[in-house]
C-alpha cells in the first residue's frame, strides 16, 4: 500500500460510487412503482424522467472522476475533495428536481456544472503549471500570478487560501469555518 | 514507470476493459442478426434485452473500477483482483442469462452485486482506517477489531486470511487452494 | 503532490473529459434545434443519430481511460498520450460523420478502434512483462524479443523507437518529425 496514496480523493470517489449505486436503486424503485419490467425504458413521464436523470448522471460520472483526480493530484487534494462533495450534493438536487418536472432539474444541473467547472479550472491550472515546469523548464510563473497563488510542486500548495476556492467557501456560507479548513488543509499537505 | 505500480489491479482493469469491448461486440452481432440498423435501439425482445444488458454493464463499469482500485490500494491488492475477476464472471452470467429471458438475468445480477458489495466493504474499511490514522492520529483499532484483521499500512496487510475473503473462498469451493493463495498473497505484499 | 505523477496522461485525460463535455453540449444544441425537450430521446433521424453518437462515446470512454493509463504506466507515457490524442480526433471524425448519415460514422469508428487496439496491445505487453518479472521472476524476454524492444522497468523504456509506434507515426505522415519526437520522448523518460 503506497503511503502517499491520496486518501481523500479515494474517499470521495468511493462515496460517489455509493451515491451512483443509490441513484441506480432509485430507478429500480421507480420501475417497481410504475410496473415497468426491464428491458422496457419507456412508460409514464415520471418514470422516463427518473430514467433520464440517472442516465445523465452516468454520462457525466467518468468526467467527474477525471477532473476530481487531476485537480486533487496536480492542484490541491482538499480543494478537489470539497468540490467533489459539492458535486454529489448538486447531483442529488438535480435528481430530485428532475423527478418532479423537467424544468426543476435546472437548479441542480447548474450547480453540477459549477462544481465540474471549478474542478476543471483548478485541474487545468495544476496540469499546465506542471507541464511548463517539467517539459519547458519554466516555473509556471505566468499562470501563478494569473491566479495569485503558488502552484509549484515544491511549495506548500495553494491550499484553501486560493481566491477561487475561498470565493466558493463564501458562496457556500461557511466563511466562519474557513480558518479551521485552512489549518486542516495545511496539516494534510504534509502527506501529499 | 513507477516500480510500485499495482500491476494486478492494472491487469484486472485491462481484462475488464476487453470484456466490456466483447460485450459491445455482442450487441453489434445482435444488431446484425436482427437487422437493426443504428441509431435504432428498439426491435425484437431478444435484441432489446441484449441492448439493455450491455447498457447495465456500462452503467456499473465506473463503479466497479472505483471500488476495485480503492479496495486494492487501501485494503489488499490480491483480494481486490480476485473479487474483480469474480465480477467479470458474474457479468458474463448476467449477460448470457438476460439474453434468454428477463428473469434469467437475476442469478448473474445477484452475483454482480455480491462482488461489488465485497469490494465496497473492503474498500470502505481500508479508506476509513487510513483516514482515522492520518487525520485523527488514531490507529483505526476499532475498525480492525471489528473485522478481526490488521489494516494498518505498516503491517503485512490482511491478505487472504481475512474472514470476509476466506468465506468467499469457501463459497467458491476453492478452499483446498486457499493455502497456495495465502502464500501467493504474502509473497506479493512485498511489492505493495 | 507526487513528483513522479504522470502529467502527460493527466493532461490527455483532462482534455478528453473536456471533449466529452463538448459532445454532450452538441446533443443539447441538437435538442434545441429540433425542439426535443428532455426526457424524450426520440425524434427526427438527425437528432437520433446525434444522440446515439454521444451514447457510443460515453460507452467507450471508461475503456479508453483504462487502456490509456495502463499503456502509459506500464509501457510508455508519451506513446499512450499520443495515441490518446489520436483517439480524440477519431471520436470527433466519428461524431461529425454519424450526424450526416449512419454510414458516414464508419471511417471515424475504424480509426477509434485502431487507437483503442494500439493502446490495448501496448498496455497488454507492458502489464504482461511486469507480471512475468514480478511474480514469476522472469525478465519477460520472450515478450521483449517478440516486440523487438526493451520493456523492463529499469531500462530506458521502449520510447517512440518501438516498431508499433513508429509505424503509426509513418501512417500519420509525421515521419519527418519523428526525430524531434524521439528526443522529446527520451528527455521525458527521466521523469517517469
What pLDDT is recorded for position B174? 40
- d(Cα C147, Cα B190) in Å, to the nearest integer? 29
With CB atoms and an 8 Å threshold, state whether B102 touches A39: yes
Q: Chain A: residue nearest C1 by CA?
A: A192
**How large is the average pLDDT for residues B151-164?**
43
User: Number of residue pairs across A and B with CB atoms under 8 Å?
Assistant: 76
**Identity of the residue in B48, B127, B135 whose CB atom sits nearest the CB atom of A10:** B127
Has residue B26 got a pLDDT over 80? yes
Has residue B36 got a pLDDT over 60? yes
Render B28-65 in DSSP notation, one character per residue: HHHHHHHT--TT----SHHHHHHHHHHHHHHHHHHHHH
**Identity of the residue in B62, B130, B192 whose CB atom sits nearest the CB atom of A62:** B62
What pLDDT is recorded for position B4? 74
Mean pLDDT for chain B overall: 80
Has residue C78 got a pLDDT over 60? yes
What pLDDT is recorded for position C187? 40
Has residue C6 got a pLDDT over 70? yes
Query: pLDDT digit string (tens) for C106-164?
Result: 999 999 999 999 999 999 999 999 999 988 887 765 554 455 444 444 333 444 444 55
Which residue has better confidence, A12 or C175? A12
Has residue A8 got a pLDDT over 80? yes
Query: Could you tell me if C49 lies within 8 Å of chain B, comparing CB atoms?
Result: yes
Percentage of the residues of chain C whose pLDDT score is greater than 70: 71
Q: Chain B: residue nearest C47 by CA?
A: B39
Has residue B20 got a pLDDT over 80? yes
Chains within contact range of chain B (3+ C-beta pairs < 8 Å) = A, C
What pLDDT is recorded for position C140? 61
Chains within contact range of chain A (3+ C-beta pairs < 8 Å) = B, C
Grid cell in block for residue C120? 490495448
Query: Could you tell me if C116 lies within 8 Å of chain B, comparing CB atoms?
Result: yes
- d(Cα B87, Cα B84) in Å, to the nearest integer? 5
What pLDDT is recorded for position A63? 97
Residue C39 in 3-state DSSP?
coil
Q: Specify the range with the lowest mean pLDDT, choosing from A59-68, A84-93, B115-124, B135-144.
A: B135-144
In the structure, what pLDDT confidence band is assigned to residue B11 with cuts at 50, 70 and 90?
A: very high
Nearest chain C Cα distance for residue A67, angstroms: 6
**Identity of the residue in C51, C66, C157 whose CB atom sits nearest the CB atom of B14:** C66
Query: Could you tell me if C51 lies within 8 Å of chain B, comparing CB atoms?
Result: yes
- d(Cα A187, Cα C3) in Å, to the nearest integer? 19
**Identity of the residue in C74, C124, C134 whose CB atom sits nearest the CB atom of B191:** C134
Which residue has better confidence, C40 or C169? C40
What pLDDT is recorded for position A190? 33
Mean pLDDT for chain A overall: 80
CATH code of the domain made up of B7-132: 1.20.120.550
**How large is the average pLDDT for residues C76-85?**
97
Instruction: Suggest the residue from C69, C79, C134 to mutate for an interface test with chain B (most B CBs closer than 10 A).
Output: C134
**How large is the average pLDDT for residues A29-38?**
94
Asked whether the beta carbons of C37 and C21 are under 8 A apart, the reply is: no
In the structure, what pLDDT confidence band is assigned to residue B121 with cuts at 50, 70 and 90?
A: very high
Cα torsion at C155, C160, C161, C163 (round to 10°)?
A: 110
**How large is the average pLDDT for residues A103-121?**
97
Has residue B181 got a pLDDT over 50? no
Percentage of the residues of chain A whose pLDDT score is greater than 70: 71
With CB atoms and an 8 Å threshold, state whether C13 touches A70: yes
**Identity of the residue in A3, A24, A38 whose CB atom sits nearest the CB atom of B153:** A3
What pLDDT is recorded for position C160? 45
What pLDDT is recorded for position A132? 93
What pLDDT is recorded for position C150? 42
Domain boundaries of chain C, sorted by first residue: 7-132
Instruction: Suggest the residue from A54, A79, A127 to mutate for an interface test with chain C (most C CBs closer than 10 A).
Output: A127
Nearest chain C Cα distance for residue A104, angstroms: 12
Query: Could you tell me if B37 lies within 8 Å of chain C, comparing CB atoms?
Result: yes
What pLDDT is recorded for position B170? 47
Grid cell in block for residue B121? 466493504
ipTM, interface predicted TM-score of the complex: 0.74
Which DSSP letter does residue C70 get?
A: H
Amino acid at each position: 500500500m503506497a503511503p502517499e496514496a491520496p486518501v481523500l480523493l479515494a474517499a470521495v470517489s468511493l462515496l460517489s460510487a455509493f451515491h451512483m449505486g443509490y441513484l441506480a436503486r432509485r430507478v429500480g424503485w421507480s420501475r417497481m412503482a410504475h410496473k415497468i419490467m426491464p428491458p422496457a425504458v419507456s412508460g409514464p413521464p415520471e418514470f422516463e424522467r427518473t430514467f433520464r436523470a440517472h442516465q445523465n448522471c452516468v454520462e457525466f460520472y467518468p468526467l467527474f472522476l477525471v477532473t476530481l483526480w487531476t485537480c486533487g493530484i496536480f492542484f490541491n487534494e482538499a480543494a478537489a475533495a470539497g468540490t467533489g462533495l459539492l458535486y454529489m450534493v448538486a447531483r442529488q438536487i438535480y435528481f430530485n428536481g428532475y423527478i418532479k418536472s423537467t424544468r426543476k432539474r435546472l437548479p441542480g444541473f447548474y450547480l453540477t456544472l459549477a462544481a465540474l467547472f471549478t474542478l476543471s479550472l483548478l485541474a487545468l491550472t495544476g496540469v499546465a503549471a506542471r507541464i511548463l515546469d517539467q517539459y519547458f523548464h519554466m516555473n509556471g510563473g505566468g499562470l501563478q500570478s494569473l491566479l495569485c497563488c503558488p502552484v509549484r510542486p515544491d511549495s506548500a500548495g495553494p491550499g484553501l487560501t486560493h481566491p477561487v476556492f475561498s470565493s466558493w467557501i463564501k458562496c457556500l456560507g461557511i466563511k466562519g469555518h474557513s480558518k479551521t479548513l485552512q489549518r486542516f488543509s495545511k496539516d494534510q499537505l504534509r502527506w501529499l
